[in-house]
Amino acid sequence: MKLETATAGEALVVRVEEERIDAACAIQFKDQMREIALAAPPRVILDLAPVRFVDSSGLGAIVAVMKFLAPARQLELSGLTSNVARVFHLTRMDKVFTIHAANAGSGMANGG
Domain ranges for the chain, please list them: 3-100
Higher pLDDT, 9 or 64: 64
Q: What angle do CA 33, 36, 39 make, to 5 degrees?
A: 130
37-54 pLDDT, tens digit per residue, is: 988 999 999 999 999 999
- DSSP H helical ranges for 46-99: 56-69, 82-90
CB burial of residue 74 (10 Å; 0-12, 13-18, 19+): middle
Kindly report the pTM of this predicted structure. Answer: 0.89
Provide the 10 A C-beta neighbour count for residue 35.
10
Structure confidence at residue 102 as a pLDDT band (50, 70, 90): low
CB within 8 A of 101, min separation 6: which ones?
A: 78
* CATH superfamily placement of domain 3-100: STAS domain (3.30.750.24)
